[in-house]
Chain A
Amino acid sequence: MNFGFPMRLQYMISGGDFNNAGAAASSLKKILKQLSIDSELVRKIVVALYEAEVNVVAHAYSGLINIELDHEKILIVIQDEGPGIPDIDKAMEAGFSTASEEVRSMGFGAGMGLPNIKKNTSTLSVESEVGKGTKLEMIIYLNT
Chain B
Amino acid sequence: MATIKDDNYFHHALKVMDDVCVGCTHCMAICPTQAIKIISGKAVISDNRCVDCGECARICPVDAIIVEQDDFNLIHNYKARVALIPGVFIGQFPERVETGDIYSAIKNLGFTHIYEVENTVGFILEGFEDYENQNEEGLKISPFCPAIIRLIQVSFPTLAKNIAKIKPPIDIAAQYYRHKLLKEGFKEEEIGIFYITPCAAKIASVKSPVGVKDSKIDGVINMQYLYNQVNIELRKPGLQKEYQLNQDMLSKEGVLWSLTGGEKPHHSGKSIAIDEIHNVKEFLEQLENEVFEKINFLELRACDQSCAGGLLLSGNRFLTADRLRNRAEKYPPLKDKRLYKKNTEDDIHLGDIEPRPMERLDIDINKSFKKMAHKQRLMCYLPGIDCGVCGFPDCQSLANEIVQGKAGISYCIFMQKKLVQRGLLSKESADAINARIWGENRFQKNCEKNGATNELS
Contacts and interface: CB of A to CB of B under 8 A. Distances in A.
B365 A50 contact: no
Contacts of B291: 22, 50
A47 interface: yes
Contacts of B456: none
Contacts of B355: 39
A31 B365 contact: no
Contacts of A100: none
A34 B373 contact: no
Interface in B345-372: 355, 357, 359-369, 371-372
Given A1-B380, A26-B285, A47-B290, A33 B357 contact: yes
A128 to B, nearest CB: 24
B289 A3 contact: no
A36 to B, nearest CB: 4
B157 interface: yes
A34 B368 contact: yes
A50 B369 contact: no
B372 A7 contact: yes
Interface string A1-44: 10111010000000000000010011001010111110110110
A53 B293 CA distance: 17
Interface of B: 157-158, 285-286, 288-293, 355, 357, 359-369, 371-377, 380
A24 B375 CA distance: 19
A46 interface: yes
A50 B285 CA distance: 13
A37 B157 CA distance: 12
Contacts of B288: 29, 43, 46
B360 A34 contact: yes
Given A1-B376, A7-B369, A22 B360 contact: no
A11 to B, nearest CB: 14
Contacts of A40: 158
Interface of B is mostly: helix
Contacts of B357: 33, 39
B158 A39 contact: yes
Interface in A64-102: 70-71
Residue with the highest number of chain A CB atoms closer than 10 Å, among B289, B290, B355: B289
A57 to B, nearest CB: 12
Contacts of A70: 369
Contacts of B373: 3-4, 7
A35 B360 contact: yes
27 contacts: A1-B376, A3-B373, A7-B369, A7-B372, A7-B373, A22-B289, A29-B288, A31-B372, A33-B357, A33-B360, A35-B360, A35-B361, A35-B369, A36-B360, A36-B361, A36-B365, A36-B367, A39-B157, A39-B158, A39-B357, A40-B158, A46-B288, A47-B290, A50-B291, A70-B369, A71-B366, A142-B365
Nearest to B367: A36
Nearest to B289: A50
Contacts of A25: 289
Contacts of B376: 1, 3
B289 A46 contact: yes
Contact of A71 (B289, B290, B369, B375): B369
Contacts of B371: 34
A23 B357 CA distance: 22
A5 B290 contact: no
A84 B372 CA distance: 36
Nearest to A116: B290
Contacts of A50: 289-291
Given A34-B368, A34-B375, 16 more contacts: A3-B373, A4-B373, A5-B369, A22-B286, A26-B289, A33-B359, A34-B359, A34-B371, A35-B361, A35-B372, A36-B360, A36-B361, A36-B368, A42-B158, A71-B365, A142-B365
A43 B158 contact: yes
A31 B368 CA distance: 11
A22 B282 CA distance: 14
Contacts of B359: 33-34
A22 B374 CA distance: 26
Contacts of A46: 288-289
Contacts of A31: 372
A141 B157 CA distance: 20
Contacts of B293: 107
A112 B59 CA distance: 45
Contacts of A26: 285, 289
